[in-house]
Amino acid sequence: MKYLILALTVFFSFTSNLFSQDEEKSSLLWEISGKKVKSPSYLFGTMHLIPKDDFYFPEELKEKVTSTDLLLMEVAGLQAQSQGTQLIMLEEGNLFDFFTEEQSDSIFVALNDLFGYTEEQVKMMFGSFKPFFLTQLFSSKQFGEAPESYEITLENLAKSNNMSVAGLETVEEQMGFINDLSQDMQVEMVMAAVRSAGDEMDEDTKKLIAAYTSRDLDQIHQYFIESSATSSEIESKLLNNRNKKWIDPIKKTIRKNKTFIAVGAAHLPGENGVINLLRKEGYTVTPIQY
């Protein structure tokens, strides 16, 4: 379950000697300056879902957002995300073709316990979806009722202040990263969710949230590397490759606009993280406390 939560919230990787706690404080908010940047831009690490009580969005953070001209997120706009439903539908076959009979029975039991659905209802309602849909469905319970979203909050703030909103990738590209995972990996993500389906919030989730709210990059790194489900396939396809692909559009954007960049916190640190990749390009990236 550890990696499942990470995959849906922060996709985190970290190199411990890159951010020495003695040299600079850990933060989720960073200023980008230097190298043809006329006005500083900002880089912010989000958690895509977080319980209401742990959601922190103070005035200082709002001021940083509204001092910029452009909000740059992983995907541009809530409307675009809502249009992604069709992308989690199977083109052919049935969802339960992915699973053994025993695995399917476990899924039926878990969905009955959580939502009261019968096996027949599950087959009828979800049979045409891809496995990742079940991953999202099960994991939603880990963050309480009506969890908050930094992305939704940021976009609403941008719209209310007449800021432009842009994306680093499309919904189609994001789903493509999931679809490119091996079938075994997709099945394992679902079954990991099933194994923790009865927990409203397990201890691992609490640790992750505590690490995020304390802005402790080293702690989140430890959380990540201790996960038995961490794989080079996941790290490469969902994290490192995307980070590298984002650098050129980020460079072009911050040269033209004062920009607030918001991506999952997992993408910030590490040798292949956005912070280090920007520094390698000659930018000054400085932590900001708020």
What letter does residue 129 receive in the DSSP assignment?
Answer: B
Record the tokens describing residue 104, joined without a space: 């399917």
Whether residue 226 has pLDDT greater than 70: no
Per-residue pLDDT reduced to its tens digit, 196-214? 776 666 677 788 888 899 9
Higher pLDDT, 222 or 49: 49
Is residue 96, in this structure, part of any structural domain at all? no
Assign 20 a pLDDT band (cuts: 50, 70, 90): very low
Does residue 103 belong to any structural domain of this protein?
no
The reply to whether 95 falls in a domain is no
* CA within 13 Å, CB half, 107: 28
Task: Give one DSSP letter per residue of 41-64, joined into a string.
Answer: EEEEEE-SSB-GGG----HHHHHH
Q: Per-residue confidence at 11, pLDDT binned at 50, 70, 90? A: very low
pLDDT at 163 over 80: yes
Whether 24 has a pLDDT exceeding 60, the answer reads no
Listed ranges 4-18, 76-90, 211-225; the one with the highest mean pLDDT: 211-225
At residue 210, what is the residue type? Answer: A
Assess if residue 105 is contained within a domain: no
pTM exceeding 0.85: no
In a domain? residue 98:
no
Give every CB contact of residue 91 below 8 A, 6+ residues apart in sequence.
none
**Tokens representing residue 235 in the block:** 């790290």
CA distance 34 to 269: 20
* 116 inside domain: no
In a domain, 16, yes or no: yes
* Number of domains observed in the structure of the chain: 1
Residue 208, domain extent: 2-89+129-288
Residue 110 falls inside a structural domain: no
Averaged pLDDT for residues 230-255:
84
Residues 6+ apart with CB under 8 A from 23: none
Higher pLDDT: 18 or 72? It is 72
pLDDT(281) > 50: yes
Share of the chain above pLDDT 90, in %: 46
